[in-house]
Structure 1
Amino acid sequence: MKKTILALVFASGLTTLTAQTETEQSKENNNFNRWSIEVGGGFNKPVKPLTNKYFTSSPSPYVIDLGARYMFNNKFGVKADLGYNHFTNKNSSKDFDTNYYRIDVQGVANLSRIMNFEDFTQTFGLLAHAGVGLAQASFDNATSNDLMANIIAGVTAQIKLSNRITLTGDFSTIINTKQSYAFDGYSANGSGTSSGLLLNGTIGLSYSLGRYQKHADWYVQPIVDVNEFVALSKKVADIESTMQDADKDGVPDYLDQEPNTIAGIMVNTKGQSIDVNRNNIPDELESYLQKTYGDNSESTVIAKNNESIKRLINSGYICAYFDYNSTTASNDSTDWINFVLTYLRNNPSATVDVVGHADELGKTAYNDKLSTARANTIKDILVKSKIDASRVNVVSGGEDTSVDKTSDGARKLVRKVTFTIK
């Protein structure tokens, strides 16, 4: 009786756990199959009751078992199964032939996931199961059948053959209650309260049903949900993108209102170079040029034959800028044109390529003509300033594709003429 009570408590506990975990499961994104069908066959051993001088082989053939299982999550589930046992006498026993039929509902615990088998194996598993049911025995030498209740408990070893098919080996103990006849059919119990004990061992196959790759038996819940991980990765990527600093001025691009500041020039919190007199020349650079190359007799920079000045011009720091679709240089460009003019005057052997540029708006052919016209405008200014025309070479740079053409601020930076001293 104690064994019966313990088995019932175990089965009840499994049912409670499955109910709890079913609620928890709804919070998870478990992409696994829940249903499986199971078939097995093997041997059995009726332990008691047996009438004196009646006994079977050890073990005795045979057992057939068919079941269907549903997993609430990857740890707990429930199954229903049908079983058939056949007992017959051993050679030295008195003759008898018994058929035993049963139907059971059982709770299932996936010990593999509970005990984290995935830490050392992905192919071996272990299930525990327990439940209650009804059974009936029929005998070749009795006038009536024996109807009884049963309690069943056991363990099932698993070997994964594929994502769908699993080889199983099960050992179960069945306790019958209110068993009126012995397993041989001869020994009647008038009170109808005797108990029976039956051992089953089977080998079989389990087949997973569903659209997912894995069954719950083999599914391991990720530490971080896949969808959450993807969302988190996207957030990190977005942060990295917004924190990029293309011009290396210390202000992230998403805050930078001047995305291509000259390297090393001091900027404000918006990434803009400081230009108090608004002549499009950063004050820090203008101060350096005036201090290093200036002449007190003139207000403009007097460029002398110095390689650093040549590199400064050829690197694109000295430019003439133009408004949209215009061939007239902006007033802010005067100082830069004068800077190049002064260099040419102080270096009579030097020549210059005047390279015109345009933004990407409009047709390419038109922009090529526009960039050439801008270069010719600057050449005319230099020639009219007494620089021999042979020293000034016009080059069409065409469309400048180095900036985002959807940005008004960026396009202003490429509507320009640059200089290359030779």
Structure 2
Amino acid sequence: MKKAVLPLLLLCLSQGINAQEAKPTQEYDKWSIEVGAGINKPGRTFTEGYRTSRLAPITGELGVRYMFNNKFGLKLDAAYNQFKNADNSLDFKTTFMRLDLQGVINVGRILNFEDWTNRFGLLLHGGAGVFRMTFDDNALYSDAKDHGLNLIGGLTGQLRLSNSVVLTGDFTTSVNGVQNFNFDGNSTVSTNVVDGVLMTGTVGLTFYLGSKEKHADWYVYSVTDQLNELDKRVGDLETMMNDSDKDGVPDYLDAEPNTIAGVAVDSKGRNIDRNGNGVPDELESYLEKKEGELKSSATADLTDLINGGYVNVYFDFNADQPNPQSVNGVNFLIKYLKENPSKSADVIGYADEIGNTEYNKALSARRAENVKKILVDAGINASRLNIVGNGEDASVSKDSKYARQTVRRVTFIIK
């Protein structure tokens, strides 16, 4: 089955592997803190006679970023900027602050930077937020507190110093809307569509948070790892689809995973027994048809079936009372022993390998004892029944929960 399924999975993988490199498991950290400081340059919306120097020295930024995967994320960041008049300008000093929510695209992963470097990265960011601007006491509108909305976008270059710390260089442009006053605070703006423009350049550090070896910024999920995981999933699927008793119902859906071969079962793998007498309808019909001429032979056949392990009583994990679906096995033996009063039976209990061996030995004996009690309560003389606690059955893999349910049972030997 693996040979048929795996090529189909590989075909799907080939269509989406570039966009889904980090999906199967989270092998990377997602949170980071970003700090930076640098310079700024405001543009437009100045009163005549007022201007700044080419580059103003005071800019500080602080942000928190979360990556959904190794390509896309969000960050919330705030910035403080201060700028003042140039030497050939009238005096002014303005404080400009902003708070923005931005989407982040890891260009390095999208463009496969890992093919040529594991040190350099590039992030593209953009979004929107709010700003607030205040002016010094000499400004005409010194008492005013200007505020509005802004659009923002930029690029961040990355130099990985370690798996926890990255050196960054960022260039960002913020465009203000609904700005009331010019940057110097001495006149109002002439338009409220696109007003002030503020460009900033910063150098900073990014600190990655978490316990994983790498952050999403640098994580590359290899094709080999993904193929191995898909191969494991196909193997698990094959195990789930095992059909131990060949009744057409996979073990993980089979309520009676050891029914008689060739006998019709329902959708849950249980023998069809419409009259509830414990004998599958197909088997019962066959026996009734042949009863007259093959009674002794049929009895021998039934004995062989019972002794061959085709009649069992099953138990849930760590339980010593039969599960409701397998009581029919007890009914089958009741009918047999009543029709053959000279026969006796060993009632043999088993447990799976999970847990302490001595405990499982006692559990198997309790299971056999409880099945004996059901037989006695149904009219079978206790002297015809011998209890055997066989302990753990190691005939199946202890790592498969579907296989283990086939050995948590009571079986019978006719004498």
TM-score (structure 1 length as normaliser): 0.48
TM-score (structure 2 length as normaliser): 0.49
